[in-house]
Structure 1
């Protein structure tokens, strides 16, 4: 069976090939009656629409924006914060008539590297390690880029959260409650000579924020780190931190997921929350209100982060970015719920 083309439809209706093309791409150029006739003929002939590759070549754009992730997609979709971010990006692009293409890390020397080989008009780089070869490919292609939850590039706009402010408020909260023995469970992402995380900006900024509240109070926290996956690793770290005679009376966690895992371990050890142990999370994800007691946590505007990423990227794609690359820093807010209280020695007075 011969392939149905624009010319096939033009011959059926008795119009030019350009008129048929306008029916699909520039409907305002035709009368409603003529466009209806052309679409009906296309449907009758089984025409599936203009070839996407040819259309992209003619327009000089693909209509798609890449979203680079270094984690496996299965991991990203199990994380409530990452899922909310991905959804907000997709929704914001959809309102602009654009699609999102998820890019995962490829083998740098492999036959197919998504960051190098996938057609796109621009890209959002989410969290990725600065040394990622995928970022280098995107930059070498000269694509408009925006970074999210990463240290800003000198040449591209960025969207970040005031992670340090949020962590400082969380730590000050437990200090003000009277806690003097405090634990921290941060994300394991590699460290510099000063013990600061190197590969993950939120992990580094949150640790600095916690310290900014604890150091002036003369408090030295018990710091432990854990990987995002599997969560059993977080529980192992929490157990090592809590199953000891000198256990902390409060634990500050990198995320709500880490905090919920810590609460599960505490309860398995017979510790009551918040009577025996206060726990603070980060993100204010749906997990924070799904657990009992509900979790004290730091709220960040995840949806706004996705919307701002799209807005700044579109500005760059359209050549509308004014002056230096834009630096968006979204606020954070401490949300006090039921998982924090004064330590036992103060509560019993």
Structure 2
């Protein structure tokens, strides 16, 4: 037993003597609050505050329980994405809210492995959500080797691992069909991703990153192929506004420019709208633009953005619930079912789309 353990036990006993309860009751006030009445717990905590005791040492408690009390969210190679992408921040917020009552804390993990500390290998966690990552990345491999409970989100489903996805293909198909029904025949696709050819691309050059990108491409092509339309395509190297604008200009600054654009995300669509404004192309009179996600930006920009809505809040809540259940099943020695959830999408028509002009 360490000196810290002895000191903690002595402090718990001091509080117990002052309140007139057992040391175990005091311990439960910190670790198992549901086993005490609200009034008794508050008396214990007030006494603890009075003597300056903040609670059991987290490291010692984790060692005793065989659990860390933390779960990881594995993102792309840059954690900046978690704080700058509106969809990612909404998703993480929903996870944090769902985890609140469980007592589990949230740890953001980069999938980068260039350093002495590799988060997926070295950070103490009880389980992880793998969010829109390359499934062949070393981060996913390390988590798998550690045999941690995992939940895949915006990933290709894998047998034995719970997954939460949205129906990207159906949503993208509806977006493309919307432009076709309006009468558009010259349609462009604005893609996003780190791998493959960047700039103007042909159907033969297309390399699509990740589950969502693949499914959205399939959905667009379902409708376009059926209508006999071969789209113009451009791909940006990253996700920031400047790159989106640059890719959009490749499609718009040409004599045979598209009259309609299908964009991988609302963020990419915003870049397209800015590029159109800089080129003097009026939206939706001369160009229709469709995004994907229905993030808060979609109703803030002008014209308001036609887009495909996904329920990011539900995706976050379901992901957290699935991970909490998987962790609980592991602790109880149960073999829980690995459910694969597919959330619906919905086309939301706003001011950025209209029939093509006669000219």
Scaled by the length of structure 2, the TM-score of the pair is 0.87
Partner of 1:328: 341
Determine if the alignment matches structure 1 residue 341 to structure 2 residue 354.
yes
**Matched residues in 2 for 1:231 and 1:202: separation?**
20
Partner of 2:239: 229
Deviation of residue 48 (structure 1)?
2.2
SS of the counterpart of 1:48? coil
1:1-349 mapped onto 2 (5 Å cutoff): 5-11=8-14, 14=17, 17-18=23-24, 20-26=26-32, 39-107=45-113, 110-191=115-196, 195-319=205-329, 322-323=336-337, 325-345=338-358
**Matched residues in 1 for 2:240 and 2:171: separation?**
26
Would you say how many aligned residue pairs link Structure 1 and Structure 2? 343
Gaps of 5+ in 1: none
The 8 Å contact of residues 67 and 103 in structure 1, kept in 2 or not, is answered as: yes
SS of the counterpart of 1:318? helix
**Matched residues in 2 for 1:83 and 1:27: separation?**
30
Deviation of residue 216 (structure 1)?
1.3
The 8 Å contact of residues 189 and 200 in structure 1, kept in 2 or not, is answered as: no
Q: Aligned-pair RMSD on alpha carbons?
A: 2.6
Change (3 A) 1:10 1:202: same
Between 126-135 and 149-158, report the one with greater CA deviation.
149-158
**Matched residues in 1 for 2:123 and 2:80: separation?**
20
1:109-143 residue CA offsets vs partner (Å, 9 max, x unmatched): x4322111222111100001111111111111111
**Matched residues in 1 for 2:37 and 2:288: separation?**
69
**Matched residues in 2 for 1:215 and 1:67: separation?**
37
**Matched residues in 2 for 1:267 and 1:28: separation?**
58
Gaps of 5+ in 2: 198-202
The 8 Å contact of residues 12 and 27 in structure 2, kept in 1 or not, is answered as: no
Between 189-198 and 233-242, report the one with greater CA deviation.
189-198
Scaled by the length of structure 1, the TM-score of the pair is 0.90
Deviation of residue 231 (structure 1)?
1.8
SS of the counterpart of 2:191? strand
1:49-76 residue CA offsets vs partner (Å, 9 max, x unmatched): 1010111122222222111112422232
**Matched residues in 2 for 1:203 and 1:266: separation?**
24
SS of the counterpart of 1:77? helix
The 8 Å contact of residues 194 and 238 in structure 2, kept in 1 or not, is answered as: no
